[in-house]
Structure 1
Amino acid sequence: MNKLKLTYFDFPGGRAEPARLAMHIGGVPFEDYRFAPSDFSEVRKTTPLNQVPTLHVNDVQITQSDAITRYVGKLSGLYPEDNFQALLCDEVMGALEDINVKLGATFGKTGDDLKSARDALVTDALPKYLRWLQHQLDSHGGDFLSDNRLTIADLKAFVILRWLSSGKLDHIPIDLIETVAPKLNNYMNCLAKIPAIAQYYANGGSS
């Protein structure tokens, strides 16, 4: 069996969280290496593109969060084997990453600049993506985003939806999801009750 080491910040959520969840749910052994945000300037020097997460597979260091999540999803049995269902899963993963990128572009801003940037997202981009995601959920059966079962697409959606509704993002209303795509709110709550996911967060977000 390959030796896996996932490297990311020591906080819940973020781009490594779907991979952490997938390996926890699938019982895949891995080293969950977490570092303080203050150590990022040093950690990034050891990564291929000066960014995290990274996944060591034995001695090979892999970058790009969606690639990592897809790989561990396959190991965990949480990635569709059917090519079309895999396409649907990947489509959702890509759209969710768009949300990460759009929100990420607002970090580092302060004061009125931050408020203006976040207000623009709340007015246009976030509702558009959330309504699209709700449509995908509806059109794929209403419970999961692809393959009629839990996949990494659901895990990534869960992490991002929790983040958007956490109250930790200034100028992002905590009721945004409930307001523009209420079925996603119910979907997020249902995912949170899946025993393996509930156990993960009961343990403080660790395996």
Structure 2
Amino acid sequence: MVLSLTKHFDPTQAAAYNSTGTSSTFEIHYVGVLGVAQNALALLSIADVPFKYVLPDNQDEAKKNSTFGFLPVLKETTADGTVLTIAESDAIERYLAKKFGFYGSNLFEETAIDQVLANTNAFIEQIHFKFFGLKDPAAQAEVIQAFVSTIIPKWAKHHEALLVANGSNGHYLGDKLTLADIRTATIISAATFFSGEEIVSETKTPALWKLKTSIEAIPSYVAWRKTDTYKALALKNKELIGF
């Protein structure tokens, strides 16, 4: 399947973006891994709405037809048959979070969430830019040492403090499940890939661990992670990047 996007920012579809998410069906078009689509997939599963992961028959053509030449792309079909397409993983996540109530309800809450997301983005970008482009084992080992000694501890310290200040209840903002929680839960796997449980663990960062285990206990998310589709994507992810 090739997703053809002949219109990108179509003003005639503006009203359809405000449709109730639970009345729509969704597809994530991507390249056969969890990758940068994993948070969008987590959001869809946690929202417990119908969705499919679509591996295009021709990935190059699918990328060519997307808004910016990249995948993933979200395709939403509303109850009246309107098809919406959204590019860029960060935009997809924020759109789904707002549609399903996993974002702020006012500017204060949105700004608090955005700060967490921005910091988490910066953390994961350091990993991608500094590690995954390296082929030399010695260079990789040097970068890992920097992650373990400086980058991961700094990230964990600040996020643990934020969660503790909110009562160590598994959330950054009151008792509300937000995109900030979901994105941090998936990022913990990156931190533990490099450092094991030396830095982030149940005993050393209990508030972060509470967040992770709370997300992983959501029944619809548990069900998604038990599917053959998820297992195949997770296996491919592990083959390519290690986690």
Partner amino acid, structure 2, of 1:148: D
1:153: Cα distance to partner? Answer: 1.2
Partner amino acid, structure 1, of 2:28: L
Equivalences for residues 66-105 of structure 1 within 5 A:
66-105=90-129
Give the secondary-structure state (helix, strand or coil) at the position aligned to 1:148.
coil
Q: Which runs of 5+ in 2 are unaligned?
A: 1-22, 77-81, 232-243
Normalization by structure 2: what TM-score? 0.70
1:45: Cα distance to partner? Answer: 3.2
1:146 and 2:173 aligned: yes
1:131 and 2:131 aligned: no
Equivalences for residues 43-192 of structure 1 within 5 A:
43-57=62-76, 61-105=85-129, 106-110=131-135, 111-143=137-169, 144-165=171-192, 167=193, 172-175=194-197, 176-178=199-201, 181-192=205-216
Q: Whose radius of gyration is greater, 1 or 2?
A: 2
Using the alignment, how far apart are the partners of 1:8 and 1:121 within structure 2?
Answer: 29
1:68: Cα distance to partner? Answer: 0.9
- Among 3, 7, 22, the residue aligned to 2:43: 22
1:53: Cα distance to partner? Answer: 2.2
Change in CA separation of 1:107 and 1:180 when aligned onto 2, cut-off 3 Å: farther
1:6 and 2:33 aligned: no
Using the alignment, how far apart are the partners of 1:43 and 1:112 within structure 2?
Answer: 37
Using the alignment, how far apart are the partners of 1:139 and 1:35 within structure 2?
Answer: 44
Q: Do the aligned residues in 2 keep the contact of 1:6 with 1:55 (CA within 8 Å)?
A: yes
Using the alignment, how far apart are the partners of 1:85 and 1:8 within structure 2?
Answer: 31
Q: Do the aligned residues in 2 keep the contact of 1:26 with 1:75 (CA within 8 Å)?
A: no
Change in CA separation of 1:129 and 1:189 when aligned onto 2, cut-off 3 Å: same
Partner amino acid, structure 2, of 1:189: T
1:147: Cα distance to partner? Answer: 4.1
Using the alignment, how far apart are the partners of 1:85 and 1:16 within structure 2?
Answer: 24
1:72: Cα distance to partner? Answer: 0.7
| Alignment root-mean-square deviation, CA | 2.7
Normalization by structure 1: what TM-score? 0.81
Q: Do the aligned residues in 1 keep the contact of 2:152 with 2:191 (CA within 8 Å)?
A: no
Using the alignment, how far apart are the partners of 1:92 and 1:78 within structure 2?
Answer: 14
Q: Do the aligned residues in 1 keep the contact of 2:46 with 2:218 (CA within 8 Å)?
A: no
Change in CA separation of 1:198 and 1:59 when aligned onto 2, cut-off 3 Å: closer
